[in-house]
């Protein structure tokens, strides 16, 4: 194949195209039981360079779904969209109206509250309300597994969101066989540990792993075992109750700002509208989408999904109306029909999401065709260069490094990629979709020598082929 690609002719391209999917040798690197849907297609001519014969079969999209969410957000919300957090005075009360801003920080909230002092308000004679009415329904989508709810990539998608609904901490091993945990003093969460500090041999013989238990009141307990280590292990806890977390933060901020509160900090809002005292805006949509796509930020994706539901149906946003809005936006504005595609969220975290490779290819093609007005391709990670693809083993070296622009996605047993192969001038010339599901390679023993994972072997070969296809297309 390499010799053929080096000599770019129509005959060579036809020979590449004629390879049957079942005989595509990189697929042989995947373990038995795996399912794969792959597609490589020229953008200009729509020539099929490679595809399996299951393009309409449903696969878990994982975080490649963020491409779909990004497209819907661009089409419906527009580049000028920003999340808005407002503070109002209603009689004796003060109301902070949250909009689900996934980037709002404690410092942003402090600056908002400091405007009270600027207005000469040093005492709130009534209550301080935290308005959470922008969203409704579950903060976690159906299909999010219980065992990851304590970690930050599955932080709840809530109207009241602060600090990414994530708290950083660390755990230390001790010589007495115990562990201790450190949480910054200003963080209003409670963490305990009964985990044991053990040697590598003890850990492997007992199969005792570190486990995290969380409760709704933002209490976390670490248990099980942690291999003895010289440096602390960084931890990131998903805030289980963002409203409670924010209530405690606000109480601290009022004290720091010397603002007296006669009433209470309450959830909800009085029925009357008030006088706007101050407003905080997030960055505009393109910057939010760049962070979402490059860092695969689930909270941005899911809060945008709920916002789409709210804007499209003129009601509080939810996972239900948000995913329905995404489907209707795509159909009415692009003609892509995913009405019967099972979607539970906009981030791809739910195990209940399903997508076909042909529909993902249609989304990629639409984005490329309208790149001048959408500008989405530039926001996606580049192979071996930035974002989630910077350190991917199958993309770190030539000829793949810097030659693909794509979004990765993985959930249990799934390893996906969707994006574009670049021509020699650095412009997209092909689109490609990789959906791998039911990937469960045999486990290696601890004393075995390091081996290259089957998925890495497959991807290395597949991505090299994409680069070859993309750069072998003659310019018209």
Q: Per the domain annotation, does 334 fall within a domain?
A: yes
Residues 362, 303 share a domain: yes
The pLDDT value recorded for residue 430 is 98
The pLDDT value recorded for residue 446 is 60
Question: Which of 63, 99, 310, 347 is flagged as catalytic?
Answer: 63
Percent of the chain exceeding pLDDT 90 equals 86
Helix, strand, coil proportions of the chain in percent (round to 5)?
Answer: 35, 25, 40
The confidence band for 308, taking pLDDT boundaries of 50, 70 and 90, is very high
The pLDDT tens digits for 400-427 are: 999 999 999 999 999 999 999 999 999 9
Residues 375, 312 share a domain: yes
Residues 6+ away with beta carbon under 8 Å from 155? 164, 165, 166, 238, 239, 298, 299
**Contact call for residues 301 and 164 (beta carbons, < 8 A):** no
Q: What phi and psi, each to the nearest 5 degrees, are found at residue 455?
A: -65, -35
The pLDDT tens digits for 129-164 are: 999 999 999 999 999 998 888 899 999 999 999 999
Place of tokens 């299909």: 143
Instruction: Count structural domains, the chain.
Output: 3
pLDDT surpasses 50 at 2: no
The pLDDT value recorded for residue 447 is 58
pLDDT surpasses 60 at 173: yes
**Contact call for residues 415 and 465 (beta carbons, < 8 A):** no
pLDDT surpasses 60 at 239: yes
Residues 117/122/127/130 CA torsion (nearest 10 deg): 20
The pLDDT value recorded for residue 9 is 45
Residues 6+ away with beta carbon under 8 Å from 302? 141, 157, 319, 322, 345, 346, 347, 349
Helix axes 285-294, 65-76, angle to 10 degrees: 180
Residue among 222, 216, 245 nearest 235 (CA): 222
- Kindly report the average pLDDT of the chain as a whole number: 93
pLDDT surpasses 80 at 275: yes
- The CATH number assigned to the domain holding 292 equals 3.40.710.10
The pLDDT value recorded for residue 445 is 66
Lowest mean pLDDT among 23-32, 282-291, 390-399: 23-32
- The CATH number assigned to the domain holding 278 equals 3.50.80.20
Residues 442, 420 share a domain: yes
Q: Per the domain annotation, does 157 fall within a domain?
A: no
The pLDDT tens digits for 80-131 are: 999 999 999 999 999 999 999 999 999 999 999 999 988 889 999 999 999 9
Q: Per the domain annotation, does 229 fall within a domain?
A: yes
Residues 303, 221 share a domain: no
Question: Which of 99, 196, 214, 296 is flagged as catalytic?
Answer: 296
Lowest mean pLDDT among 269-278, 335-344, 414-423: 269-278
The pLDDT tens digits for 38-81 are: 999 999 988 999 999 999 999 999 999 999 999 999 999 999 99
Residues 302, 169 share a domain: no
**Residue 281 host element (H or E):** strand 275-281
The pLDDT value recorded for residue 18 is 41
The pLDDT value recorded for residue 476 is 60
The confidence band for 451, taking pLDDT boundaries of 50, 70 and 90, is confident
Helix axes 357-369, 65-76, angle to 10 degrees: 40
Residues 439, 331 share a domain: yes
Coil/strand/helix, residue 68:
helix
Residues 428, 444 share a domain: yes
Residues 6+ away with beta carbon under 8 Å from 341? 58, 327, 354, 355, 356, 359
pLDDT surpasses 80 at 12: no
The pLDDT value recorded for residue 17 is 45
Q: Per the domain annotation, does 30 fall within a domain?
A: yes
Structure tokens at 399: 């000829």
Residues 319, 425 share a domain: yes
Distance (Å, whole) CA 266 – CA 349: 31
Residues 374, 297 share a domain: yes
Residue 170 is a catalytic residue: no
Which alpha helices (H) appear in 187-297, and where do they start and end? 200-206, 242-256, 285-294
Q: Per the domain annotation, does 314 fall within a domain?
A: yes
**Residue 39 host element (H or E):** strand 35-42
Distance (Å, whole) CA 310 – CA 160: 15
Q: Per the domain annotation, does 69 fall within a domain?
A: yes
Intra-chain end-to-end CA distance of the chain, in Å? 23
Distance (Å, whole) CA 51 – CA 324: 29
Q: Per the domain annotation, does 409 fall within a domain?
A: yes
Residues 98/99/101/105 CA torsion (nearest 10 deg): -10
Residues 199, 229 share a domain: yes
The pLDDT tens digits for 242-264 are: 999 999 999 999 999 999 999 99
Residue 251 sits in which domain range?
84-137+242-282
pLDDT surpasses 60 at 19: no
Distance (Å, whole) CA 416 – CA 388: 13
The pLDDT value recorded for residue 448 is 62
The confidence band for 475, taking pLDDT boundaries of 50, 70 and 90, is low
Q: Per the domain annotation, does 151 fall within a domain?
A: no
Distance (Å, whole) CA 151 – CA 467: 36
Q: What phi and psi, each to the nearest 5 degrees, are found at residue 410?
A: -145, 135
Residues 415, 329 share a domain: yes
Percent of the chain exceeding pLDDT 70 equals 94
Number of Cβ atoms within 10 Å of the Cβ of 347? 29
Distance (Å, whole) CA 30 – CA 437: 10
Residues 88, 73 share a domain: no
Number of Cβ atoms within 10 Å of the Cβ of 426? 11
The confidence band for 473, taking pLDDT boundaries of 50, 70 and 90, is confident
The pLDDT value recorded for residue 149 is 85
Question: Which of 39, 66, 74, 294 is flagged as catalytic?
Answer: 66
pTM for the whole structure: 0.93
Residue 296 is a catalytic residue: yes
pLDDT surpasses 80 at 13: no
């Amino acid at each position: 194949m390499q010799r053929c690609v080096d000599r770019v002719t129509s005959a060579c391209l036809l020979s590449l195209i004629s390879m049957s999917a079942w005989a595509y040798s990189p697929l042989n690197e995947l373990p038995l039981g795996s399912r794969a849907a792959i597609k490589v297609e020229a953008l200009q001519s729509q020539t099929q360079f490679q595809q399996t014969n299951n393009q309409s079969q449903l696969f878990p999209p994982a975080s490649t779904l963020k491409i779909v969410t990004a497209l819907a957000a661009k089409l419906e919300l527009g580049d000028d969209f920003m999340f808005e957090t407002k503070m109002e005075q209603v009689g004796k009360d003060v109301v902070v109206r949250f909009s689900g801003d996934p980037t709002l920080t404690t410092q942003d909230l402090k600056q908002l509250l400091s405007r009270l002092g600027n207005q000469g308000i040093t005492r709130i004679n009534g209550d301080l309300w935290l308005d959470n009415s922008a969203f409704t329904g579950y903060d976690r989508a159906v299909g999010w597994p219980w065992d990851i709810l304590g970690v930050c990539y599955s932080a709840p998608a809530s109207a009241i969101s602060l600090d990414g609904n994530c708290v950083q901490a660390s755990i230390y091993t001790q010589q007495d066989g115990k562990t201790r945990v450190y949480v910054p003093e200003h963080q209003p969460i409670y963490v305990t540990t009964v985990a044991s500090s053990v040697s590598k041999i003890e850990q492997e013989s007992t199969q005792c792993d570190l486990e995290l238990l969380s409760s709704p009141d933002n209490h976390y307990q670490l248990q099980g075992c942690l291999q003895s280590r010289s440096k602390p292990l960084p931890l990131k806890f998903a805030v289980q109750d963002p409203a409670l977390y924010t209530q405690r933060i606000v109480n601290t901020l009022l004290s720091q700002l010397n603002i007296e509160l006669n009433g209470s900090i309450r959830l909800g809002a009085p029925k009357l509208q008030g006088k706007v005292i101050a407003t905080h805006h997030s960055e505009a949509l393109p910057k939010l989408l760049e962070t979402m796509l490059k860092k695969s930020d689930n909270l941005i994706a899911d809060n945008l999904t709920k916002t789409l539901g709210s804007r499209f149906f003129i009601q509080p946003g939810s996972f239900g109306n948000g995913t329905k809005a995404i489907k209707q936006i795509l159909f009415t504005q692009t003609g892509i029909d995913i009405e019967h595609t099972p979607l539970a969220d906009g981030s791809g975290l739910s195990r209940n999401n399903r997508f076909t490779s042909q529909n993902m290819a249609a989304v990629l093609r639409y984005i490329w065709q309208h790149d001048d007005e959408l500008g989405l391709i530039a926001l996606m990670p580049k192979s071996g260069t930035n974002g989630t693809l910077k350190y991917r083993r199958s993309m770190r070296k030539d000829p793949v490094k810097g030659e693909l622009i794509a979004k990765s996605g993985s959930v249990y047993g799934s390893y996906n990629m969707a994006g574009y192969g670049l021509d020699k001038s650095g412009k997209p010339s092909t689109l490609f979709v990789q959906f791998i599901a039911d990937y469960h390679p045999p486990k290696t023993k601890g004393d075995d020598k390091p081996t290259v994972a089957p998925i890495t072997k497959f991807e290395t070969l597949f991505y090299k082929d994409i680069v070859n296809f993309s750069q072998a297309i003659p310019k018209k």
